[in-house]
């Protein structure tokens, strides 16, 4: 069935709307006032002042009728709820990981895992750690070393698996610090900060062999595991005929466990989990789970959300869903390309990333070109993207210097099962208009108030 979907050029949308949420475009003068009041920060805008919200694909998907039905059956028992067991069994069947601890969202899972595995000055090599992940590792006293392949650092280099780990760099990092000082190796699938780029199974196997050969654990940040599996099926020789669940299983067979934000591929508004094969570690992880999240059979999730999560895990590995999902991102990328908007290629799973430095070549790199593009897109059409670049990456925790990332990107993240072609056509028109009009001649941005912590959420900007 799904093979036929791809052979014909017709796009098959495997769902229809039954409940809708009204949205509205506020007029230009209001948009200008809104963005000014927000200090040119996308996170300070009220959602009702946004027309197309591409801030994130996290927790913003539409739930299915089966998820809603499951929620009605949610068991809210404090300990040992039926919904927890359904979730744990679904996850075990999918991944083979035996021990599952729910958490309130991905960063809760990160806090739990890192508070046990990371000690002062321990190192976590990986492929472009997500910002909360990096912050939790540093909070626990550790340090991240980015070992993404060099192709992943360029917006124009074509490579099927730009999220791959550079094996030589990984080997050198493990040797430099010594295996005892490596807390674990983290593979983020797909790699969000690098543009939603996938990691190949060949690379996952090789990382696993290398790390395990030196006695080092390997964990996934599995927020977008199903999108990664789809790219493997599509691009990696030998996997064309495998089903998505088979590929998912082979991916997880290579690792010792994972953290997961279930707000992404598990298509629920809230939730996450830590999973492991190590029974001793599982016992140790119960302590921070109970302290920070909740009893270890709910971890801050309600029973109804655990039901929806279990159902979401079953829906996200369906191939017709993934064919539509990935082709939607790709279609947005293609249309942006056609009107001359510079994007990261190939297009990743959950989002299209516009290259801020190429969009505004006259804006110096330290004047936040990608943040500027977010602001201009809001002004032009109440589209809300988010910056994934110099603002987000922040400062070096050791010397306080601004880090200059390889890419300064404006991310258009696609909520799952929410927007259709007309919405995306509108977004392309907005980006094209910014490119063609005075929006493209704006000066860069500087901080008005730079606030510490994860600064991109809270700082404000002004035009230079
Ligand atoms: N890991 C990755 C790869 C992520 O993309 C995120 C969140 C997290 C971990 C943390 O999960 O939000 O449930 O606590 N990414 C969101 C985004 C916020 O917009 O990309 P969380």
Give start and end residues of each alpha helix (H) in 382-448.
390-393, 421-436
DSSP conformational letter for 364:
-
Residues 87 and 177 in one domain: yes
What gap in Å lies between CA 216 and CA 206, rounded to an integer?
13
pLDDT over threshold 90, residue 131: no
Q: Given 258, 282, 315, which residue is the final one in a domain?
A: 315
4 backbone φψ class: left, alpha, beta (φ>0; ψ -120 to 50): alpha
Count of residues for the chain?
Answer: 464
pTM: 0.95
Residues 296 and 432 in one domain: no
Query: The domain spanning residue 260 has which CATH number?
Result: 3.40.640.10
Residues 195 and 329 in one domain: no
Contact of 81 with 424, CB cutoff 8 Å: no
What gap in Å lies between CA 305 and CA 307, rounded to an integer?
5
Whether residue 81 has its Cβ less than 6 Å from ligand 1:
no
Nearest atom (ligand 1) to Cα of 107 = 14
Residues 309 and 402 in one domain: no
pLDDT over threshold 80, residue 2: no
**How many folded domains does the chain comprise?**
2
User: What pLDDT sits at residue 398?
Assistant: 80
Ligand 1 mean position, distance from CA 326 (Å):
19
User: What pLDDT sits at residue 403?
Assistant: 87
**Is residue 386 situated within a structural domain?**
yes
**Is residue 60 situated within a structural domain?**
no
Average pLDDT of the chain to the nearest whole number = 95
Whether residue 329 has its Cβ less than 6 Å from ligand 1:
no
**Is residue 58 situated within a structural domain?**
no
Reading the block at residue 104, the tokens are 């309130």
Q: Which of 54, 106, 193 to mutate to test the pocket of ligand 1 (most atoms within 8 A of CB)?
A: 106
Give me the half-sphere count of Cα atoms (radius 13 Å) on the Cβ side of residue 392.
Answer: 26
Residues 230 and 332 in one domain: no
Ligand 1, atom 19, residue with closest C-alpha:
56
Range of the domain at 372: 13-50+318-463
Q: Given 268, 291, 315, which residue is the final one in a domain?
A: 315
Reading the block at residue 319, the tokens are 């191939």
Q: How confident is the model at residue 4 (pLDDT cuts 50, 70, 90)?
A: very low
Reading the block at residue 376, the tokens are 């201009």
Residues 306 and 168 in one domain: yes
What gap in Å lies between CA 355 and CA 326, rounded to an integer?
20
Residues 191 and 330 in one domain: no
What gap in Å lies between CA 153 and CA 143, rounded to an integer?
20
Ligand 1 mean position, distance from CA 130 (Å):
7
**Is residue 90 situated within a structural domain?**
yes
Residues 265-317 pLDDT 10s: 999 999 999 999 999 999 999 999 999 999 999 999 999 999 999 999 999 99
- Kindly list the catalytic residues: 78, 130-131, 221, 223, 264, 456
Q: Given 315, 348, 378, which residue is the final one in a domain?
A: 315
Residues 306 and 349 in one domain: no
Whether residue 262 has its Cβ less than 6 Å from ligand 1:
no
Reading the block at residue 140, the tokens are 């626990």
User: What pLDDT sits at residue 194?
Assistant: 76
Query: The domain spanning residue 322 has which CATH number?
Result: 3.90.1150.10
Residues 177-218 pLDDT 10s: 999 999 999 999 999 877 899 999 999 999 999 999 999 999
Reading the block at residue 305, the tokens are 């959300």
Residues 90 and 218 in one domain: yes
* Unique residue bearing structure tokens 């996290």: 58
Contact of 249 with 94, CB cutoff 8 Å: yes
Whether residue 67 has its Cβ less than 6 Å from ligand 1:
no
Residues 70 and 190 in one domain: yes
Residues 337 and 420 in one domain: yes
- In order, the DSSP letters of 207-268 are HHHHHHHTT--EEEE-TTHHHHHHHHHHHSTT-TTS-HHHHHHHHHHTSSEEEEETTSTT--
**Is residue 267 situated within a structural domain?**
yes
**Is residue 126 situated within a structural domain?**
yes
Residues 232 and 342 in one domain: no
Nearest atom (ligand 1) to Cα of 59 = 13
Greater confidence (437 vs 147) lies with 147
Distance from CA of residue 60 to its chain's centroid? 12
Cβ neighbours of residue 431 closer than 8 Å, sequence gap 6 or more: 336, 339, 341, 354, 377, 383
**Is residue 55 situated within a structural domain?**
no
> What burial class does residue 214 get, using C-beta atoms within 10 Å of its C-beta: 0-12 exposed, 13-18 middle, 19+ buried?
middle
Q: How confident is the model at residue 397 (pLDDT cuts 50, 70, 90)?
A: confident
**Is residue 1 situated within a structural domain?**
no
């Amino acid at each position: 069935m799904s093979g036929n979907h791809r052979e014909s050029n017709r796009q098959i949308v495997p769902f229809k709307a039954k409940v809708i949420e009204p949205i509205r475009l506020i007029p230009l003068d209001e948009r200008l006032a809104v963005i000014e009041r927000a200090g040119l920060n996308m996170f300070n805008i009220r959602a009702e002042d946004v027309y197309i919200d591409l801030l994130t694909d996290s927790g913003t998907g539409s739930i299915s009728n089966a998820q809603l039905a499951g929620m009605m059956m949610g068991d809210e028992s404090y300990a040992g709820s039926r919904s927890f067991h359904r979730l744990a069994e679904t996850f075990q069947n999918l991944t083979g990981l035996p021990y599952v601890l729910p958490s309130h969202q991905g960063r809760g899972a990160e806090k739990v895992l890192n508070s046990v595995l990371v000690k002062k000055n321990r190192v976590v090599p990986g492929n472009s750690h997500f910002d909360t992940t990096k912050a939790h590792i540093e909070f626990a006293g550790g340090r991240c070393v980015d070992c993404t392949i060099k192709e992943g650092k360029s917006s124009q280099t074509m490579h099927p698996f730009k999220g791959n780990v550079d094996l030589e760099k990984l080997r050198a990092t493990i040797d430099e610090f010594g295996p005892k000082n490596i807390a674990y190796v983290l593979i983020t699938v797909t790699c969000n900060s690098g543009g939603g780029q996938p990691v190949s199974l060949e690379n996952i196997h090789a990382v696993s062999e290398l790390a395990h050969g030196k006695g080092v654990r390997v964990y996934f940040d599995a927020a977008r595991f199903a999108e990664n599996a789809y790219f493997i099926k599509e691009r990696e020789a030998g996997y064309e005929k495998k089903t998505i669940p088979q590929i998912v299983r082979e991916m997880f067979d290579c690792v010792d466990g994972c953290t997961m934000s279930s707000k992404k591929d598990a298509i629920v508004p809230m939730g996450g989990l830590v999973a492991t094969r190590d029974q001793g570690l599982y016992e140790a992880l119960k302590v921070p789970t109970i302290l920070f999240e909740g009893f270890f059979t709910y971890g801050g999730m309600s029973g109804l959300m655990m039901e929806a999560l279990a159902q979401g895990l079953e829906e996200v590995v369906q191939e017709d869903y993934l064919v539509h999902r990935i082709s939607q991102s790709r279609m947005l990328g293609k249309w942006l390309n056609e009107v001359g908007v510079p994007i990261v290629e190939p297009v990743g799973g959950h989002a299209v990333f516009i290259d801020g430095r190429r969009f505004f070549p006259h804006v110096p790199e330290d004047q936040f070109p990608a943040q500027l593009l977010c602001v201009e897109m809001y002004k032009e059409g109440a589209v809300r993207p988010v910056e994934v670049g110099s603002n987000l990456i922040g400062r070096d925790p050791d010397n306080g210097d601004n880090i200059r990332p390889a890419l300064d990107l404006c991310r258009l993240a696609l909520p799952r099962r929410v927007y259709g072609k007309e919405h995306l056509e509108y977004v392309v028109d907005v980006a094209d208009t910014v490119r063609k009009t005075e929006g493209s001649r704006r000066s860069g941005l500087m901080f008005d108030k730079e606030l510490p912590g994860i600064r991109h959420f809270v700082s404000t900007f002004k035009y230079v």
